[in-house]
Chains A and B, each alone.
Chain A
Amino acid sequence: MSTAILSTPFQADFDANSQEFSLAGVIRPRSVDEIAPSISAFRSAIEEARGVLYINVKRLAQMNNTAFHAFSRVVLDACRTRSDIRFVVVTSSVVGWTERMFRHLGKIEPQITVEVYDSKFYPGQSFVEDTSFIPILRTQTKMTWRHERTILPRHGMRPGIVMADICCGIGDFAVLVRKEFQPARIVALDHSKASLAYARDVAANFGISDIEYTYGDASEMLLEDNQFDLVTCRHSLQIFNQRDLLLKELYRICKPGGRVYITNEKNSHCLGEPRAQSIQWTYDEVARLFSHFEMDVELGPKSRRYLADAGFDDILVESFMVTNHDGDPQDFADVITAWENVYAGEMAVKRGDPPEFIERFRQGFRDHIFAALHPKGYAGWPIWAASGRKPL
């Protein structure tokens, strides 16, 4: 159910299957009458629920005191008449005031608990937010940038645009874009506070004050609709388990006529000579390993389908191969070493793989490094760059 009474629409929905009542958007009514249908729906949801009712306010960007009191009264009244039901209010760590405001309800009624949804946005989050990964992320960006700086203008990058880099990581892509293309505004969002702190430090050291780094969940952003000429989201769709949700958000914040640019890998196409077979085996296993954690590092060539399904038109897809001949081969080798450490040293262990598997798994990475550093060797890492236009 949505309401058109307020200038900014909000949503109040009840999912009976998950017993979850969700509030999203901006709710700033002058009087309770304006939100009466939503209050009524909330009462009905409580009547219908058994056991636990989840109240999801993760996507609630704004709520004034009039609305807060109205919804609070309903749940507090229910606590007094229904001893058989518990309420779990799920707030977001991104929208700080919701956590502060809703936590009081738990102080009034023990049947109400308030949880901050923070640490489990997607299954592979702990791996990709590992701070030991930061130096290698810089090297990866340095290697891909050699290609992307010529690719990006074909996908809508030009001076003076307003752009957002979603899942910006340590923010180095935003810094390179700023220097090369001089956009009018860059918002860079990520869910890793450690990465953002690093990004801000780097920006400060370079005297850069005009990149707006912001903490946020890419699948539920505080950014408003139709704001950006270009939205970039690099190497991230493949590690989200709710890819449709992420694309929906990228689409939402993009201006009509603007473009969303994504890059993704197809890990099983990583290659090297010599020792091609060992390398091939390991990267096939990388794809399976990520799949186990609900990530799809084979996504690259599927970009066209994802963008089309999300509603984009004028879709452009191209691929490029990062190789050991792009700059210093040691950089390439360093990246593979980092992959070995995380994929074989952490993820395979977490999956419960036996030592003999892990040893063979590691060998493929080592052979990839061997190929990268071999005087006559060739080592490659393929990436798909794609963009789609949000229809006017």
Chain B
Amino acid sequence: MNAAQRQPVETKFEPLLQFEMEMGTFLSDWHHCDQLSTYVARMISHNRTDPVRHSNFFSSALNELLEVSFRGGSPEGRIGCAVYRQGPNERVKLSFPCPPGHRQFFQEAVARTHRNDAYARYLDAISTDLAPSREVILLDLAINFDASIRLEEDKPRSVTIVVDLPLEGIVS
């Protein structure tokens, strides 16, 4: 079963915040991941039940996604990140240019987050991998943040990851 077949029924997500920047600029400094995730988390969490803890949780998840785009992105084009809300859920839509072939890799990694052996794969990766792969990071989001992850059809040589995070329920 591929990721497209597992897409959840679409509900109305309201836009909260979005940013775009040149990918080359983004890639110029690793700390952009930390800075952007901290800033965005703080902005979108202010009216959650527990803004401080929601922000902490959200920043953790968004930082991992930005780190994925940092490690796997290519310098031409723009990175775009939009955050939406629907009830207790936030949706992150992250688009970034990537080298040819990487899209297929992301499709497979996303599909693995939906498989029954996802948790076993995650534990195995913690036990044996020297460093976390992008697949493990998506598994981390699915397992530790209860995230629902899918890919959106996009232009060639770019990828759009859509991650739904039910953090309000977890935090409060």
Contact = CB atoms under 8 A, between A and B. Distances in A.
Contacts of B170: 96
Q: How large is the interface on B (under 10, 10 to 19, 20 to 34, 35 or more residues)?
A: 35 or more
A65 B129 contact: no
Task: Give the size range of A's interface with the partner.
Answer: 35 or more
Interface string B36-75: 0000000000110111110011011001100100000000
Interface string B94-125: 00000000000000000000000000001100
Nearest to A72: B126
Interface in B136-172: 136-137, 140, 143-145, 170-171
B30 interface: yes
B64 A64 contact: yes
Given A76-B127, A105-B126, A108-B127, A28 B53 contact: no
A90 interface: no
Contacts of A95: 53, 56
A265 B81 CA distance: 51
Interface in A55-78: 61-62, 64-66, 68-70, 72-73, 76
Interface string A206-228: 00010011111000001100000
A7 B31 contact: yes
Contacts of A26: 34
Given A76-B126, A108-B127, 5 more contacts: A65-B137, A96-B170, A100-B144, A214-B52, A216-B53
12 contacts: A7-B34, A28-B34, A31-B131, A32-B131, A64-B67, A65-B132, A69-B129, A69-B130, A70-B131, A95-B56, A215-B53, A222-B53
Interface of A: 6-8, 26, 28, 30-32, 61-62, 64-66, 68-70, 72-73, 76, 94-97, 100-101, 104-105, 107-108, 187, 189, 196, 200, 209, 212-216, 222-223
